[in-house]
Amino acid sequence: MGRKDKANTRNLGGTLQNEIEPFFEGPLLANARTSIVLLERVILGLLRSEVDRLKDNEEELTRFFSHFFDPTAGAEERARFVTNFQREPPVTVIGYPRAAGDFPCFAIILESEEETDPPIMGDYVGMTLEGEPGEAAEYEGGFFRNTYGIYIYAQNSDVAVYLYQFAKMVIFGAKTALQCAGFTDLSFSGGELSPQEMYLPDNMYARVLRVQATAPMTVPRLVIDPAKVRVLGLYMDDIVVDGMRGGVTPYATEGSENGES
């Protein structure tokens, strides 16, 4: 997607997509000079923008909820979901919520991250940009596989269930926006949370939606300007391959006294 293309804001993730600078506009490694970190901030912005967009637009909220809930829950139950969502829209936070926080709640937790296989060229990625200091600005980097948990907390079991499905439809429906933000290799999983005092406030029902994504991380470094570096010479011993002498002789540079470079 180019910078001048505008996403339809009626689509899930459309608002976020119009607010970010697209990451992928060419080969991945060529663009990998830019680190894609703080992925939780992207998820935070996505969930908040969709909650804000839908909570005050009953027609649009009903349109989406009907598609997801009518086949199994029915129109009457879906209407209660719409009413509850508008009366108590979920808040979205980063980190585990506190018992005194606002509920229902989406809490975004970094559950794990690990470095994946290095890029083809080892730790060197990206490219030198015009205007950067030196002619050999380099980027050391790699790819990290991140797992984020979107924890859904509610004081009613039915609310926890439908908000879990809402979070899933938003994240899944916003794949294009997430890819523009630098997410690759997206995958999803989820489940019910068993009550644990360290994770779950009192009298709460909870589910977790897990989002896995790979993103590049790079660190810029400056090396010596190649214009100031020159090769003075090359010294190699003669070699023999399959009984044949290769005829490789030392190359003496100007000013060398012993024939060695």
Is position 253 within any domain?
yes
Query: Does 240 have pLDDT greater than 70?
Result: no
Contacts of 162 (CB under 8 A, 6+ apart): 69, 73, 81
Domain with residue 42: its CATH number is 3.30.70.1700
| Half-sphere exposure for 167 (CA within 13 Å, toward CB) | 33
Contacts of 56 (CB under 8 A, 6+ apart): 86
Same domain, 149 and 251: no
Same domain, 175 and 237: no
| Structural tokens at position 179 | 């890819």
- pLDDT per residue over 15-63, tens digit each? 766 666 554 444 444 444 567 778 898 899 999 999 999 999 999 999 9
Same domain, 246 and 146: no
Is position 234 within any domain?
yes
In order of 69, 149, 158, 185, the CA distances from 201 in angstroms are 28, 17, 17, 33
- What is the number of structural domains in the chain? 2
Same domain, 114 and 215: yes
- pLDDT per residue over 184-217, tens digit each? 888 999 988 776 655 555 678 889 999 999 888 8
- Give the type of residue at 167: A
Query: Does 112 have pLDDT greater than 80?
Result: yes
Same domain, 190 and 241: no
Same domain, 126 and 245: no
Predicted local distance difference test score (pLDDT) of residue 217: 80
Q: Rounded to the nearest 5 degrees, what angle is found at the Cα of 170, between the Cα atoms of 112 and 24? A: 70
- pLDDT per residue over 62-107, tens digit each? 999 999 999 999 999 999 999 999 999 999 999 988 766 789 999 9
Is position 86 within any domain?
yes
Is position 145 within any domain?
yes
pTM check: above 0.75:
no
User: What is the residue range of 21's domain?
Assistant: 14-222
